[in-house]
Amino acid sequence: MQKRRCSGGLGVLGLAGVMVLGLAALPAADDPPRFSDWSAPVNLGPVVNSPFAEAGTYISKDGLSLYFGSGRPGGVGPTNTMDIWVSHRDSTDEPWGPPVNLDSPVNTTDNEQTPMLSIDGHRLYFARDGVGGYGSQDLYVSRRQHAWVDTGWSEPVNLGPGVNTTAEENGPSIIEDDTTGVRTLYFSSTRDTGMGGEDIYTSTAYPGEPFGPAVLEALLSGPYRDVRPFVQREGLEVYFDSNRPGSLGTNVDLWSSRRESLWAPWSDPVRLPDALNSTGVDARPVLSFDGTQLYFHSNRLGTLGGNDIWVCTRIRIKGRGHD
């Protein structure tokens, strides 16, 4: 059971770093499953969710802080304008507490959404629309000195023309190389250099330098919507939502792909099991660091209003042939 280090703190958040959903979805003959099947999705309930839209969640490395966008009242912007909120819990056995608005300068009267944190918990990446960017929606980063408090965020900085365009950018996910300090950003964009209405791109930043020109991830994209990628810490598995052929309905479903190394090509994307998807919107799949929880937003039957945040759980299998 994980315990929070400090009441009211965020803890350190990082990208999920264990072999997770793709092992079940894309098995190899010499690589036995390490997890049980996923449970049915469960709505996080009226403390986290509201009659307004909640979407684009992200869970901290210690499993004690949950970030997401919400249009609920009480934010910096008007009701139904997306702000970034965070909910905490004192241990992984306890329910999530009442969400706290990150306030300005992170939130504005415009929409802020799809948050994610760097592995050390000091940088918050997110999408924002409105005046001041390159286009209708850009990616930004804000920094804080202390990783265990909700306040102290700096004025967000636009990630620049290597990442952002006059089109829409959304769904940031970062891989960080602890040895070299190189950061690789995955995100989705509606720019016209892609293969469809929205595609997945990458951009690399070397220490002390801005993010470079974005490159289309052609193996993860197609003539449909491929959006909001989430990449595990090692960069060997990616999860995203798409309405590509094979989806249950006309809306986006949850998909995944994997590769054998950072230099290997991505495999053909596989839709996650039927129990996790629906004929409604199922989007922004994000795994807990230990691989036992999958968070996403959906407007499926049972929501409190608009999109809600849902979670599936599974058990890590131990014994011979497993970690």
Domains of the chain, by residue range, sit at: 21-313
Residue 15 pLDDT class (50, 70, 90 cuts): very low
**Lowest-confidence segment of 27-36, 85-94, 210-219 by average pLDDT:** 27-36
Q: Mean pLDDT in the chain?
A: 87
What is the pTM assigned to this prediction?
0.87
Residues in CB range of 314: below 8 A, 6 or more apart:
35, 36, 37, 38, 39, 291, 292
Q: Which of these CATH numbers, 1.10.150.120, 3.40.630.30, 2.120.10.30, 1.10.275.10, describes 21-313? A: 2.120.10.30
Q: pLDDT tens digit string along 218-245?
A: 999 999 999 999 998 888 999 999 999 9
Is residue 105 reached through a cis peptide bond, with omega within 30 degrees of 0 on the bond before it? yes
Question: Is 149 within 8 Å of 121 (Cβ atoms)?
Answer: no
Q: What pLDDT score was predicted for residue 30? A: 45
Nearest to 42 by CA among 111, 112, 96, 118: 96
Residue 4 has pLDDT above 50, yes or no: no
Q: pLDDT tens digit string along 271-281?
A: 999 999 999 99
Across the strands, what pairs with 86? 67, 100
Average pLDDT over residues 132-160: 92
Residue 320 has pLDDT above 70, yes or no: no
- Residue reference for tokens 């990442």: 163
Residue 168 has pLDDT above 60, yes or no: yes
